[in-house]
């Protein structure tokens, strides 16, 4: 059976996966780029088009980042990752943060209470707007992905919902040593989560700590 | 100037330094011993009288634990570390969790709104019950400690108050990979704390991650 994976999911010391106040010009809200700086520096993210001036890093941060795409046949994301709009779509002009040729190159399920037609982009990315619970969304993603794995792309609430539903096999978190103070908490409602996972920690010279949660038992 | 230090302060992934519901038979509340298991296994804690059956560990966990005592001339602790009582003392029979010869062997300031006479124990520990803010308590501790360092011994609220007051020079946290779900949060109100500290992370084979915060600038 294919795996359900989370990659490069940054959290602060106080457990926030996003700050407060997402807007069109602030997709990560008051956190700014602080949660993603480790990734922006990697060769993998640079090759996906992330701007940056320093020499790309090719060490442990890149080793983790480079595993994001291979073997993945579909992503599931929350609507807040797709865009800053809330409620019914005012128009269907918004096509995500990623330009005409998004970085996914696979089908992407966007969880929303406000479905709209499938959006075909360049480079193989198709956005499917689906009103479904995690189990049903995962079923649909598996159909789209064939034998390949499913990536849960975030945001915070979406990852938390899939953890609550006990659907994640591989969880790669990146602990960023900052105290964000406010925003969306990843761990809310997940007391005892560690009982289902082995956890491995690897510090990076960049200052972050990679945490890999691996499910103890196959379902 | 002597340093103000915190040692062996365990927190969960979700940032709790203690669980919910401290009682006489549950000093760490619903967290039980889970936050302190890494320490219980070390040679340093065994020699302080901590019970345990496994061979004591002498690796990185012990390396950190062994630095708790040397160079420290006084500890400051919150009343909740001293005992489970709240409000005025019903009697003065309670002498802490640590028996007749407590592990401190120095003066210890117990922060409380309900002062009581100095309590002299065997082995050099004296408990001073003081109603003071962090700055005043630290002044008093320095007088008691001479040229030696001051250890802030916890609990959570006490460490947080000293961090808020910008009085900590060295903060050793131990991140335990569990999701505790409820209890006392260390990071509450400390947004941006990382701006004052360099942070170093070291994972241990026991599964915990040692985090050392070192103040950037001398005051």
CATH code linked to domain B4-88+100-215: 3.40.430.10
Note whether A52 and A39 are within 8 A (CB): no
CATH number of A4-215: 3.40.430.10
Provide the pLDDT for residue A217.
75
- Three-state DSSP class for residue A125: coil
Mean pLDDT of A104-121: 97
Write down the residue that tokens 């942070």 correspond to. B199
pLDDT at residue A162 in the model: 98
- List, for residues B98-141, the tens digit of each pLDDT value: 999 999 999 999 999 999 999 999 999 999 999 999 999 999 99
Report CA A58 to chain centroid distance, whole Å.
21
User: Which residue, among A11, A13, A176, would best test binding to B if mutated, counting the most B CBs under 10 Å from its CB?
Assistant: A13
CA distance B179 to B14: 6
Backbone angles phi, psi at B148, to 5 degrees: -80, 170
Q: Report percent pLDDT > 70 for chain A.
A: 99
Put simply, the answer to whether A192 touches B181 (Cβ < 8 Å) is yes
How do residues A12-36 score in pLDDT, each as one tens digit? 999 999 999 877 777 778 988 999 9
User: What was the pLDDT predicted at A119?
Assistant: 97
State both tokens at A141.
């993603």
Chain A nearest-CA distance from B217, in A, is 18
> Residue range B18-39: average pLDDT?
85
Question: Would you say residue B40 has pLDDT above 80?
Answer: yes
Confidence of residue B202 (pLDDT cuts 50, 70, 90): very high
pLDDT tens profile B89-101? 998 999 999 999 9
Gap between the Cα atoms of B56 and B39, Å rounded: 10
Interchain proximity A191–B180, CB inside 8 Å:
yes
Above 60 in pLDDT, residue B219?
no
* Min Cα separation B101/chain A (Å): 36
Domain ranges (residues) in chain B = 4-88+100-215
For residue A219, pLDDT beyond 60: no
Q: What percent of chain A has pLDDT over 90?
A: 86
Residues in B closer than 8 angstroms to A189, CB to CB, are 181
CB within 8 A of B144, min separation 6: which ones? B73, B74, B106, B107, B109, B128
What is each CA distance from B180 to A25, A190, A201, A207, B12, in whole angstroms?
35, 8, 18, 25, 6
The pLDDT score that the predictor gives to residue B23 is 75
Distance from the A22 Cα atom to the nearest Cα atom in chain B, whole angstroms: 18
B chain contacts of residue A199, beta-carbon cutoff 8 Å = 177, 207
Rounded CA Rg of chain A: 17
Position A218 confidence tier, pLDDT thresholds 50, 70, 90: low
**pLDDT tens per residue across span B54-76:** 899 999 999 999 999 999 999 99
Q: Could you report the predicted ipTM of this complex, rounded to two decimals?
A: 0.92
């Amino acid at each position: 059976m294919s795996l359900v994976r989370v990659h490069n999911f940054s959290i602060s010391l106080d457990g926030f996966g996003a700050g407060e106040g997402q807007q069109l010009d602030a997709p990560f809200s008051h956190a700014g780029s602080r949660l993603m700086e480790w990734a922006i520096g990697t060769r993998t993210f640079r090759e996906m088009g992330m701007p940056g001036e320093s020499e790309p890093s090719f060490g442990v941060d890149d080793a983790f980042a480079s595993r994001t795409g291979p073997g993945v046949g579909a992503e599931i994301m929350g609507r807040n990752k797709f865009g800053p709009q809330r409620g019914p779509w005012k128009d269907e002009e918004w096509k995500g943060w990623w330009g005409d040729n998004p970085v996914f190159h696979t089908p992407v399920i966007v969880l929303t209470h406000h479905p709209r037609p499938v959006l075909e982009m360049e480079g193989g990315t198709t956005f499917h707007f689906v009103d479904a619970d995690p189990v049903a969304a995962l079923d649909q993603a598996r159909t789209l992905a064939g034998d390949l794995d499913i990536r849960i792309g975030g945001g915070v609430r979406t990852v938390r919902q899939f953890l609550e539903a006990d659907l994640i096999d591989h969880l790669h978190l990146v602990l960023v040593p900052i105290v964000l103070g406010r925003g969306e908490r990843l761990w809310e409602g997940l007391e005892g989560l560690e009982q289902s996972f082995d956890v491995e920690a690897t510090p990076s010279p960049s200052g972050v700590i990679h945490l890999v949660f691996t499910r103890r038992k196959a379902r």
